[in-house]
Amino acid sequence: MPHKKFRCPIYGATVYLVWGTNKDLADFLSKHFNVVEEDPSPEIGSVSSEIHPKANVEQFILYTVNKNYKNNNTKDEILVHETFHLVKRIFKWIGLSLSDDSEEAWAHYQGYWYSLFKNTLK
């Protein structure tokens, strides 16, 4: 169950990057969130979020499901796509919608997560 936990440096949320197979994802969700998925999604990537029940802190899970992820030529496209969803969820949580006034914050924050995840998956 390959994964890494990150702390959102500005907003205090927890972000998990999970990669591997569908079974890896199901095992991670079961162990860390008591979520049982009989048939985990066959998607190659997704972002989900939930409020931590004890700490009342938002937790975000970005996962990519691909057996050979580290050797996959589409890795960058998946990370760009999924980090956009991650930033959207984090900014929705803090109340910052995408607009002409906020687009630079969105772009920089997505770049931060993309670089962090890409370096993790090297």
- Show the CA angle centred on residue 17, arms to residues 46 and 109, nearest 5°: 85
Would you kindly state where each structural domain of the chain is located, as residue ranges?
3-120
Q: What per-residue confidence (pLDDT) applies to 54? A: 47
CA-CA-CA-CA torsion sign (11, 17, 76, 47): negative
> What are 73-95's pLDDT values in tens digits?
557 777 888 888 889 888 888 88
pTM: 0.77
Contacts of 10 (CB under 8 A, 6+ apart): none
Q: What does the alpha-carbon distance between residue 2 and residue 37 come to, in Å, rounded to a whole number?
A: 17
> What are 5-57's pLDDT values in tens digits?
898 888 888 888 887 777 777 787 788 776 666 655 555 556 565 545 444 45
What tokens does 58 get? Answer: 């938002």
